[in-house]
């Protein structure tokens, strides 16, 4: 199974954290199927994470790549470098990048192209703000984000989309699972109808996913998996979510 359950550690972690996480994860994970699991640590720790997870099959990716391949971009990391290190995926356009680093849909589009050129699976993050949600603009906002991000992509590109309502991230609030399911269905329909040659591998949900709400989410047909922030920082909690996933998917 392709990537379906991704830990986004954001700006968290240390050498000690990585060791502890792996110990807790493997102690509590009750399945042998690790192929659908990915971790996006802070890039500095990729090498160490690889050592602590060994050849378990868990994929390692990054939280962001630069929108140019090389040159004068102090502090950035390119898709080529990610490929060089054997990383399999990159989050692209996470709302925290859009909000704190002013990432535009145009920049995101360039990143998607570079990821695809380097065989790094892009995980395009989209989602509406609280105000947009209250105005019932969710579908229009998501369609716009998809159109702008994908319009310059080559026809044969592969993609995972993560639907992350901004107001659900780190807040403990989530839309009801049926609503998420219908948003995911809409996302699949929009990509299929407007970009029929793009290979949309899956649509993940992100925003306050935990071991408590995992079964109600994974029971939904179009919720193919999850992108998990806070709850993924605890190896035991993440293993429990993965166990629920393996039961239901």
Cβ 142 to ligand 13P shortest distance, Å: 16
The single residue among 122, 206, 225, 235 that binds ligand 13P, judged by CB under 6 A, is 206
Any contact of residue 223 with ligand 13P (CB under 6 A)?
no
The single residue among 46, 65, 108, 209 that binds ligand 13P, judged by CB under 6 A, is 209
Known active-site residue 96: no
The single residue among 39, 169, 187, 203 that binds ligand 13P, judged by CB under 6 A, is 169
> Could you give the C-alpha distances from 59 to 36, 56, 172, 197, in angstroms and in order?
8, 9, 27, 26
Reduce the DSSP state of residue 126 to 3 states and report it.
Answer: strand
CA distance 103 to 23: 36
Pick between residue 9 and residue 195 the one whose CB is nearest to ligand 13P: 9
Phi/psi of residue 219, each to 5°? -75, -15
Any contact of residue 62 with ligand 13P (CB under 6 A)?
no
Reduce the DSSP state of residue 61 to 3 states and report it.
Answer: strand
The single residue among 41, 165, 225, 230 that binds ligand 13P, judged by CB under 6 A, is 230
Any contact of residue 93 with ligand 13P (CB under 6 A)?
no
Piece of the chain touching ligand 13P by CB under 6 A; list 74-82, 112-120, 164-172, 178-186: 164-172
108 and 124 Cβ atoms separated by less than 8 Å: yes
Neighbours of 200 (CB within 10 A): 20
Any contact of residue 165 with ligand 13P (CB under 6 A)?
no
The dihedral of CA 9, 14, 19, 21: what is its sign?
Answer: negative
Structure tokens at 23: 């110990």
Structure tokens at 143: 């369609």
183 and 139 Cβ atoms separated by less than 8 Å: yes
The single residue among 170, 179, 192, 194 that binds ligand 13P, judged by CB under 6 A, is 170
Pick between residue 29 and residue 167 the one whose CB is nearest to ligand 13P: 167
Options 59, 96, 103, 164, the catalytic residue: 164
Chain positions contacting ligand 13P, by CB under 6 A: 8, 94, 164, 169-170, 206-209, 227-231
Active site residues: 94, 164
């Amino acid at each position: 199974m392709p990537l379906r359950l991704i830990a986004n550690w954001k700006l968290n972690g240390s050498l000690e954290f990585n060791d502890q996480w792996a110990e807790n994860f493997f102690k509590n994970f009750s399945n042998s199927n690790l192929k659908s699991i990915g971790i996006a640590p802070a890039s500095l720790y990729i090498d160490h994470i690889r050592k602590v997870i060994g050849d378990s099959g868990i994929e390692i990716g990054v939280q962001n790549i630069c929108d140019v391949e090389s040159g004068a971009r102090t502090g950035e990391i390119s898709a080529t470098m990610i490929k060089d290190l054997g990383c399999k995926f990159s989050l692209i356009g996470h709302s925290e990048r859009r909000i704190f680093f002013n990432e535009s849909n145009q920049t995101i589009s360039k990143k998607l192209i570079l990821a695809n050129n380097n065989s790094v699976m892009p995980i395009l993050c989209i989602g509406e703000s609280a105000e947009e949600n209250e105005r019932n603009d969710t579908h229009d906002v998501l369609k716009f984000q998809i159109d702008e991000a994908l319009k310059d992509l080559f026809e044969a590109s592969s993609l995972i989309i993560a639907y992350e309502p901004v107001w659900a991230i780190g807040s403990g609030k989530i839309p009801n699972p049926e609503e998420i399911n219908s948003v995911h269905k809409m996302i699949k329909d929009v990509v299929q109808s407007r970009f029929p040659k793009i290979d949309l591998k899956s649509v993940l949900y992100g925003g306050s996913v935990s071991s408590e709400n995992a079964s109600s989410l994974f029971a939904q047909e179009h919720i193919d998996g999850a992108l998990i922030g806070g709850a993924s920082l605890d190896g035991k909690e993440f293993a429990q979510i993965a166990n629920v996933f393996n039961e239901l998917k």
